[in-house]
Amino acid sequence: MGLSLQILLPFFGGLAVLFAPRFGRDMERWGTIAVMAVTLLILIFISLNGDSGRWLQMVQADWAPSFGIQVLLAMDGLTAAMLAISAGLGIVCVFISWEVTHRSPLYHAVICWTVAAANGVFLSFDLLVFAFFWELMIIPAFLLIGLWGYGNRESAAMKFLVFNAVAGLGLLAAVFWMGATAPEITFDAFELAEAGYSTPVQVILLLGFALAFMVKLPVPPFHAWLPDAHTQAPTAGSILLAGLLLKTGAYGLFRFPPLLFPDGLMAVAPYGMALGAFGVVYGAILACGQFDAKRLIAYTSIAHMSIVLMGVCGGVHFALAGAGVEMIAHAFSSSALFLLIGALQHRTGTRDLRELGGLQKTAPAFATSFAVFFAAALAMPGTANFLGEALVITGMFQVNWAFAAIALVSLVVSVVYATRLIGAIVFGKPKAETAVFDDLKPYELWPIIALGAGTIVFGLFPQVLIGWLRPAIDAALLPLGVGAP
Amino acid sequence: MTDGSIWSVAPLVLLGFAAILAMVLAPVQPTPRVRLAAAVPMALAVLILLFRLDAPEAPLSVLLADDGMARLGALLAAAAGLGTLSFTRTICTGREGPALVAIAATGGVALASANHGATLFLGLELTTLPMVALALMPRTEAAVEAGYKLFLIAGIGAGAVLMGLAFGFGASGSLRLDAWSVEGPIAAIGLAFLLVGLSVKFALVPFHMWSPDLFAGAPAPVGALAGSISKVAVAIAALRIGLSLPAPEIWKLGLLLTGGAAVILGNLAALRQDNLLRMLGYSSIAHSGYIALVLAVGGDLMGDTVLVYVASYAPAIIAAFAVAGLMGAETRLEDLRGLAWSRPLAGVALGVALLSMAGLPPAVGFIAKIYLFSSLAGEAAWGPLVIAAVGSALGFAYYLRFSIKIFTAPVGPTPRAVLNRADGLAMAVAVALVVALGLYPEPLTALVAASLP
C-alpha cells in the first residue's frame, strides 16, 4: 500500500490543489508543499522499515487480469533515492514559483502530476504499467512548457512532445511483443527476464527500449528537443526536466536493459559506449559556443547524461556504480543551476551572457552558489558529480581505454565552458542589466542550500550513497555475469 | 420463440418504439421534449442490455444473433444513440432529428446482431439512410453536398453488399453468414463484393470520399453517428464474418490493402487540416484503418482488439462532436484557443477525447493502443505493425496540436459556446467513461473477453 501512495498521493493531491484557492490565498502552494512533504515522510518511513532482502518493499495487485496487467511496484535504495529527489524537487518548484500567479492552481496541479507520473516510472516493474507512466509523464511536462513557458513555448512544447511520444512507441512495441509472445500474457519484468530470448531478439527489443530512454536522456542524435524545451520552459519546468524527466531515461537505462536483455546489452555495448563518448564530446563542445545561459546548461546536461550511457554500457562494477551516482548527483546540480538561471532571468530579463556580468559585487550569495554548482557540474573533487564521473571513467579504463580517454578529454573542454559561464556572469564589471540586482531571497536560498548540501555531503561521504545503491548495482551486474569486486 | 427471447428482442423493439414516438411527437412538441420522449425508451434499452450482458447465449432467430458480441455491440450502439440524441437541436437537424437518431441506433443494434444476409443489409441501410436525411436537414451548400455524397457512395456500397450476398447465396445456398465457409471462386467474389460494401460504410481508402465532407459539412450529430454507431456496428459485422470463416485469403488481402491505405492517407491528410471537423473526419478514416489491419492479420487477440478499439473510440468521438456541435461547423484551430478556460467542461471534454484518440494515458485510447499493438505484434505482422506505429506517431502531432490550443491562454474574444444540460451530461458521461476505463480497464477488457465466442 505504502508504495502506491507514492503515486496516488501526488496524483490526487494535484486534483485537490486545483480547488485549494477556495480555502484561502496561496493555499495551492502550501497544499502542494504538504502533499510532497507527506509523500516524502511516507517514503522515509518505508525506507527505514524496509525488508532486508533485495527489495525494501514490493507491492503486487491486479489491474487488468484479463490482459495479464498487474500493479507490480518494487523499491530498493536506488528507487528510494529517485523518489526522494522527485518529491524534494516538487517542493523546490513550489518555492521558486512563488511569483507565478497566472493560473496558479493548474500550475501546481501540473507539478504534482509530473511527480506522480515520474514516481510511477521509478516504481513500476510491470512493463506495461511502466510504459503507461512513461507516456503519462509527457503530458504534464508538455503543459508546463506550453502554458507557462517563454516566447516560443508552443513550438518547443510540440517538439518535446513529438520526440518523446514517438520514441515511446519503440518502448511500447517492444513491451507488447514481449507480453504477447509470452506463454501466458504477462508484462511482469521479473518473469520476462527469465524468458530466454536469443541474442538477436534481445538486441531488437533492447533497441526499442533504448530509443525511448535515449531520447529522454537525451543522447545525440536524439537530443534536438532538449535545448529548445529548456530555453522556453518556465524555471520549474526546467528543474523538473533536468532533475526528474532526464533521470527517468537514465533510470530506465540502468534498470531494464541489464535485467531483461543482458546478452543484447553486451552485444551492443561497444556502440552504446561510442555513442556515449560522442555525446560527451558533442555536448561539451556545443556548450562552449552558446551565449544563452540556459542553452549552455542544456548542452552540458547532454554531456553528463552521455556519461551515464557510457557507464551502463560499460557493464563493469565501477562504471555501473558511477552511472548510478552520476544520475543522482546531476539531478542536484543541474536543477540548482536552472533555478539560479531562472532567478537571473526573472531579475534582469535576459539570459544572454554578453549582457551579464559582475554579480560577485552586487549579489554575493547568488555568485557563490552559482560558482559552487558549476564546480559540481565540472565534477570537481568533493562533489558527488566527481564521484560519479570518476567511477565511470575508471570503469571505462577496464573496458576500453579509448572511450575513457575521450571522456577525460571532454572534462578539459568542460573547464572551457565553465570558466566562460562563470566569467561572464560572476566576474567582470557589472553591466547595465546587472548593476542593480536583488540577491537571493529566502525562498530561493533554502532550496539552493538543500541541493548544495546534497551535492557536497554525498561528495565527501560517497560511501553513504554507494551503500544505498549497492543492491541495485549488484542486481544489474548479476545477469551480465560480473560479480562485485 | 421462448419466454427468454422477449428480453433478447426488447432493446430492438424499444429503439424502434423510440423512433416512432419521436416521429409522432415531432410535429406537435418542441425538440427538447421530443428528445426526452425518445431518450426514455432508449435508456430503458441500454439498461436491459446492461443487465443481460452475462445472460446465456440465446439463438433468437435465423436472422438475429443474441450472443455476447451482439449484446456488447447493441449496448454501444444504443448508448451512442443516446449520447448523440443529447445534442440534436432544432437549429441543426430540424424537429425530425431525434427520430432519425433513434432509427440509426435501431439499425446499429440490428447490424451488431446480424448473422444473416438480410439483417446485414437492413442494418446497413437503417444506419445510413437516417444519416443522409440528417445531413440534408440544414440545406446549406456544404450539408447538401455531404448528404448527396454519402447517399451516392453508400448507394454504390449497398449495391456491392447485395451483389456479395447474391454470390454468397449462389456458392453456399444460404444467406446465413456462418454457412459461407465454402471454397471456390464464386464465394471469393461474393466476399470481395461484401468487403467493398462494408469498406464504404467503414470509410476505408479508396471508399472514404464521403467521410470528411460529412464530418465537416453535415450537422454535428451526423458525424457522431458516423463515428460511433456505424463504426461499432460495421466493425462487429466484419468481425463476425472474420470469426466465422476460416481465413479467406481475399478477405484478408483486401482488408490489409484498404486498411493500410486508410491508416497512411487518413493520418497524412489529417496532419494538414486546420478545421477541427475535417481533422476528425480524416482521423476517423485512420482509426477504421487500424481496425481493418487487425481484422486482416487475425490471431488470438483479433476479437478483443476490435471490440476494445470500437468501445474506446465511441465515447471519445461523441464527446468531440458534442463540443463541435456547440462550436459550429467552421471551427478552426485558432477558434479553439482558450476553450478550456471559457468553457471548462467543453474544453476538458474535447481535450480528453483528443488525448484518447491519440492513444495517450490516462485515456482509454491508450488501452486500445495496447491491444492494437499487441495483436499485431503477437502475430509477427511486422508490416502492419510499422504502419500502425507510424500512423500513431503522426496522430500525436495533429491531435495534440489541437489539444494544446484548447489549454492555451485565450486572447481576444473567447470561443462562443452555449451549453445546455443535455450537452453537459453527454460530455460529462463520455469524459468519465474515457478516463475511468483508461485508469481501470478491467471492466471493459473482462466484458470484451466474455463476449467473444
In the structure, what pLDDT confidence band is assigned to residue A64 with cuts at 50, 70 and 90? Answer: confident
Are A177 and B407 within 8 A, CB to CB?
no
% residues pLDDT > 90 (chain B): 43
Q: Give residue A200's identity as a one-letter amino acid code.
A: P
pLDDT single digits (tens) A4-17: 899 999 999 999 99
Residues A131 and A171: their CA atoms lie apart, in Å, by 7
pLDDT at residue number B328 = 76
Name the residue with cell 445510413. Answer: B128
Q: How many CA atoms lie within 13 A of A352 on its CB side?
A: 7
Return the number of other C-beta atoms located less than 10 Å from residue B104's C-beta: 33
The yes-or-no verdict on residue B83 having pLDDT over 80 is yes
The DSSP element (H or E) to which B59 belongs, if any, is: none
Q: DSSP character for B184?
A: S
Tell me which of A485 and A27 has the higher pLDDT: A27
The yes-or-no verdict on residue B10 having pLDDT over 60 is yes
Smallest CA–CA distance, residue A103 to chain B, in Å, is 9
Question: CA gyration radius for chain A?
Answer: 21
| Interface probe, candidates A69, A163, A172, chain B, greatest B C-beta count within 10 A | A172
By Cβ distance, the residue of A103, A135, A176 closest to B374 is A176
pLDDT at residue number A399 = 86
The yes-or-no verdict on residue A239 having pLDDT over 90 is yes
Query: Are the beta carbons of A253 and A213 closer than 8 angstroms?
Result: yes
Query: Are the beta carbons of A254 and A277 closer than 8 angstroms?
Result: no
pLDDT at residue number A481 = 67
| Interface probe, candidates B373, B444, B451, chain A, greatest A C-beta count within 10 A | B373
Residues A290 and A296: their CA atoms lie apart, in Å, by 5
Name the residue with cell 477488457. Answer: B445
In the structure, what pLDDT confidence band is assigned to residue B178 with cuts at 50, 70 and 90? Answer: confident
Which residues of B fall within a CB distance of 8 Å from A158? 397, 400-401, 404
pLDDT at residue number A177 = 87
Once rounded to an integer, what is the mean pLDDT over residues A89-94?
93
Q: Which of A256-270, B34-48, B170-184, B233-247 has the lowest mean pLDDT?
A: B170-184
What's chain B's average pLDDT?
A: 87
Q: Which of A67, A52, A60, A86 is nearest to A3 (CA)?
A: A60
Q: DSSP character for B274?
A: -
Residues A417 and A306: their CA atoms lie apart, in Å, by 17
The yes-or-no verdict on residue A30 having pLDDT over 80 is yes
Centroid of chain to Cα B53? 20
% residues pLDDT > 90 (chain A): 39
Cell of A145: 512548457
CA angle A154, B395, B144 (to 5 degrees): 105
With 0-12 CB in 10 A as exposed, 13-18 as middle and 19+ as buried, what is B371? buried
Query: Are the beta carbons of A403 and A276 closer than 8 angstroms?
Result: yes
pLDDT at residue number A86 = 94
Cell of A39: 509523500
Q: What are phi and psi of B174, to 5 degrees?
A: -150, 155
Which residues of B fall within a CB distance of 8 Å from A176? 370, 373-374, 377-378
Query: Are the beta carbons of B398 and B392 closer than 8 angstroms?
Result: no
Q: DSSP character for B182?
A: -
Sign of CA dihedral B54, B59, B64, B69: positive
Smallest CA–CA distance, residue B407 to chain A, in Å, is 7
Task: Please state the ipTM of this predicted complex.
Answer: 0.79
Q: Which of A304, A305, A287 is nearest to A296 (CA)?
A: A287
The yes-or-no verdict on residue A484 having pLDDT over 50 is no
Enumerate the H helices of B359-441 as residue ranges: 364-378, 382-407, 421-439
Residues A105 and A102: their CA atoms lie apart, in Å, by 9
In the structure, what pLDDT confidence band is assigned to residue B59 with cuts at 50, 70 and 90? Answer: low
Once rounded to an integer, what is the mean pLDDT over residues A114-139?
93
- For residue A170, the chain B residue with the least C-alpha distance is B389
3-state secondary structure of B275: strand
Q: What are phi and psi of A292, to 5 degrees?
A: -85, 120
Cell of A418: 565553465
Q: Does A61 contact B at CB distance below 8 Å?
A: no
Once rounded to an integer, what is the mean pLDDT over residues B268-294?
93
In the structure, what pLDDT confidence band is assigned to residue A485 with cuts at 50, 70 and 90? Answer: very low
Tell me which of A39 and B31 has the higher pLDDT: A39
Once rounded to an integer, what is the mean pLDDT over residues B140-145?
88
With 0-12 CB in 10 A as exposed, 13-18 as middle and 19+ as buried, what is A1? exposed
Tell me which of A296 and B180 has the higher pLDDT: A296
Residues A311 and A327: their CA atoms lie apart, in Å, by 11
Q: Does A15 contact B at CB distance below 8 Å?
A: no
The yes-or-no verdict on residue A395 having pLDDT over 50 is yes
Query: Are the beta carbons of B269 and B396 closer than 8 angstroms?
Result: no
b or e along A60-75 (b: 16 or more beta carbons within 10 Å of the residue's beta carbon)? Answer: eeebbebbbbbbbbbb
Q: Which residues contact B41 (CB under 8 A, 6 or more apart)?
A: B14, B15, B17, B18, B21
Smallest CA–CA distance, residue B450 to chain A, in Å, is 10
Once rounded to an integer, what is the mean pLDDT over residues A64-79?
88
Q: Which of B183-187, B284-288, B355-359 has the lowest mean pLDDT?
A: B183-187
Once rounded to an integer, what is the mean pLDDT over residues B366-385?
88
The yes-or-no verdict on residue B94 having pLDDT over 90 is no
Which residues of B fall within a CB distance of 8 Å from A126? none
In the structure, what pLDDT confidence band is assigned to residue B306 with cuts at 50, 70 and 90? Answer: very high
Smallest CA–CA distance, residue B406 to chain A, in Å, is 11
Q: Which residues pair with A188 in a beta bridge?
A: A126
pLDDT at residue number A81 = 92
Which residues of B fall within a CB distance of 8 Å from A215? none
Measuring CA to CA, how many Å separate B316 from each of B156, B311, B403, B430?
Answer: 29, 9, 13, 7
Q: How many Å is the maximal CA-CA distance in chain A?
A: 70
Once rounded to an integer, what is the mean pLDDT over residues A90-103?
87
The yes-or-no verdict on residue A483 having pLDDT over 60 is no
b or e along A177-209 (b: 16 or more beta carbons within 10 Å of the residue's beta carbon)? Answer: bbbbbbeebbbbbebbbeeebeeebbbebbebb
The DSSP element (H or E) to which B115 belongs, if any, is: none
Query: Are the beta carbons of B277 and B215 closer than 8 angstroms?
Result: yes
pLDDT at residue number B1 = 46
| Interface probe, candidates B360, B392, B406, B452, chain A, greatest A C-beta count within 10 A | B360
Once rounded to an integer, what is the mean pLDDT over residues B358-371?
90
Whether the ω angle into residue A21 lies within 30 degrees of 0, i.e. cis, is no
Whether the ω angle into residue A218 lies within 30 degrees of 0, i.e. cis, is yes
pLDDT at residue number A476 = 85
Q: Which residues contact B320 (CB under 8 A, 6 or more apart)?
A: B280, B349, B350, B353, B354, B357
Q: Does A165 contact B at CB distance below 8 Å?
A: yes
CA angle B317, B323, B327 (to 5 degrees): 135
- For residue B370, the chain A residue with the least C-alpha distance is A176
Query: Are the beta carbons of A392 and A322 closer than 8 angstroms?
Result: yes
What's chain A's average pLDDT?
A: 88
By Cβ distance, the residue of A102, A136, A172 closest to B362 is A136
In the structure, what pLDDT confidence band is assigned to residue B21 with cuts at 50, 70 and 90? Answer: very high
Once rounded to an integer, what is the mean pLDDT over residues B294-313?
91
pLDDT single digits (tens) B400-425: 888 888 887 776 666 555 677 888 88
Q: Which residues contact B368 (CB under 8 A, 6 or more apart)?
A: B308, B309, B312, B313, B359
Q: Which residues contact A463 (CB under 8 A, 6 or more apart)?
A: none
Once rounded to an integer, what is the mean pLDDT over residues B375-385?
87
| Interface probe, candidates B369, B371, B374, chain A, greatest A C-beta count within 10 A | B374
Residues A188 and A185: their CA atoms lie apart, in Å, by 9
Name the residue with cell 527489443. Answer: A205
Are A146 and B407 within 8 A, CB to CB?
yes
Query: Are the beta carbons of B289 and B262 closer than 8 angstroms?
Result: yes
Size of interface A-B (CB pairs under 8 A): 90
Q: Give residue A273's identity as a one-letter amino acid code.
A: M
Length reported for chain B: 453
The yes-or-no verdict on residue B310 having pLDDT over 80 is yes
pLDDT single digits (tens) A153-189: 888 888 898 899 888 888 988 998 888 888 888 899 9
Q: Which of A251-265, A406-420, B408-422 has the lowest mean pLDDT?
A: B408-422
Region of B43 on the Ramachandran plot (φ > 0 left; ψ -120 to 50 alpha; else beta):
alpha
Q: Does A102 contact B at CB distance below 8 Å?
A: yes
The yes-or-no verdict on residue B118 having pLDDT over 60 is yes
Residues B362 and B343: their CA atoms lie apart, in Å, by 22
Residues A170 and A204: their CA atoms lie apart, in Å, by 10
3-state secondary structure chain A: CHHHHHHHHHHHHHHHHHCHHHHCCCHHHHHHHHHHHHHHHHHHHHHHCCCCCCCCEEEEEEEEHHHCEEEEEEECHHHHHHHHHHHHHHHHHHHHCCCCCCCHHHHHHHHHHHHHHHHHHHHECEHHHHHHHHHHCHHHHHHHHHHHCCCCHHHHHHHHHHHHHHHHHHHHHHHHHHHHHCCCCCCEHHHHCCCCCCHHHHHHHHHHHHHHHHHHCCCCCCCCHHHHHHHHCCHHHHHHHHHHHHHHHHHHHHHHHHHHCHHHHHHHHHHHHHHHHHHHHHHHHHHHCCCEHHHHHHHHHHHHHHHHHHHHHHCCHHHHHHHHHHHHHHHHHHHHHHHHHHHHHHHHCCCEHHHCCCHHHHCHHHHHHHHHHHHHHCCCCCCHHHHHHHHHHHHHHHHCHHHHHHHHHHHHHHHHHHHHHHHHHCCCCCCCCCCCCCCCCHHHHHHHHHHHHHHHHHHHCHHHHHHHHHHHHHHHHHHHCCCCC
